[in-house]
Amino acid sequence: MTWRLPVIVWQLLFFVGPLLFMIAMSFFLVKNYRMVEAFEMTSWIKMFGKGYFWDSYFFTLALAAWATIVATCVAFPAAFGLAFKVSDGTRRWIIFLLIIPFFTSYLVRTFSWYVILAESGVINNILGYIGLGPYTMLNTRFGTMVGYMTLTLPLVIILQTLSMANVDKNLIEAAQNLGAGRFQVICKVIIPSAKVGLIIGAVFCFILSFGDFVAPYYLGGSKPPTLSILIIDTTKSGQQWPRAAVVAVMMTTTLMIVAFTAIKLAYSKKT
């Protein structure tokens, strides 16, 4: 049992403790830009009564869901190729290359998209040579999605690759020997066998996108704001930390529901 102690202490210190404090903070009041301890529902009533909070909530939810679908679909062929079509050495190298973007700041990587996506940027310049464009890509949902992919795609590819690489090759051969086509092998053998990794990849993508501030602000033009931007707005103006805590509690609750549901789905017996 003692080996569990560090994990429990870590969870208490860095997750449960701050979470409880955040929940408590959502009942505090702000007076003269200073937080005052209290137990009032004011911030909850205020935020739940505001249309813009719900607009931001559902917008963020939809955006993160889209990012998850896009990342999962884009990552799948890449991960499939890495798991089944290349040698172990090549796979290791490519996984290493996928890790390299994490060596630099996400903010810096996001800003570098300015040069590429701007109307006077690289893509529009290339399209200009063939008489197309310019297209507006910055400060759009497309821009936000590019940011989300920058953040999540390498991770999703890695998680999918690792799960697919562990699929029992005998099952694939058996399916092929029994006359299954390529599509059937993917749908009936590979996806069910790699289900846990595929779902965990999707969950990570959802969690990271749902809470991301950088992509929707700098590439999406904060138009409309996501919940993370709403937190910044709420704290920046009027120092309404309790209201920001309400938003944060709602975000955490949503993420917990999504994560628990997904994990339940991943480990369910039915395939």
Partner 1 sequence: MIKKNRLSRRDFIKTSTVVTGALAMPMILTANKARAQAAEINMLAWYGHGEPDIVEEFEAQNNVKFNAKYYAGGDNMLGLIAQSPPGTYDIILSDGEFVQQLNAANYIEQLNPDDYPFDDFMYHDFTQFPGHWKDGKLYSTMVRYGHLGVSYNKNAVTAEQAQSYQCFWEPQLTGKVGHFDWHLPSLGMMSLYNGNNNPSPFDIDGGAWGGVQETTMSLRPQVGGFFDYGGTFSSLKNGEMLAMCGIGDWITGVLEKDGAPVASVVPKEGGIQWTESYCIGKGSQHAEIVNKFIQYMLTPAGQVRSAQMAAYPGFCVTNSGVEALRATNMAEAERTGQIEGATNNPITLIKEGRIHYRDIPHQQTLEDWNDFWSEYKNA
What is the three-class DSSP state of 30? strand
133 contacts 127 by C-beta, under 8 angstroms: yes
CA distance 99 to 130: 35
Phi, psi (rounded to 5 degrees) for 35? -75, 135
71 contacts 153 by C-beta, under 8 angstroms: yes
Q: Is 50 in the site for partner 1 (CB under 8 A)?
A: yes
Q: Is 47 in the site for partner 1 (CB under 8 A)?
A: no
Which CB, 35 or 255, lies closer to partner 1? 35
What is the nearest approach in angstroms of partner 1 to the Cβ of residue 234?
8
Which residues inside 202-261 make contact with partner 1, applying CB under 8 A? 217-218, 220-225, 230, 233, 235-239
What is the nearest approach in angstroms of partner 1 to the Cβ of residue 239?
3
Q: Which residues of 228-251 are buried (b: 16+ CB within 10 A; e: fewer)?
A: bbbbebbeeeeebbbbbbbbbbbb
Q: Is 144 in the site for partner 1 (CB under 8 A)?
A: no
Among 3, 4, 5, 34, which residue interacts with partner 1 (rule: CB under 8 A)?
34
Q: Taking contact as CB under 8 A, which single stretch among the options 13-21, 117-125, 171-179, 203-211 is the one that binds partner 1? A: 117-125
What is the nearest approach in angstroms of partner 1 to the Cβ of residue 64?
17
Strands 34-36 and 29-31: antiparallel
Q: Is 85 in the site for partner 1 (CB under 8 A)?
A: no
Q: Is 93 in the site for partner 1 (CB under 8 A)?
A: no
CA distance 112 to 122: 11
Q: Which of 18, 16, 63, 49 is nearest to 243 (CA)?
A: 49
Residues within the interface to partner 1 (CB under 8 A): 32-35, 50-52, 55-56, 59, 114, 118-121, 136, 138-139, 217-218, 220-225, 230, 233, 235-239
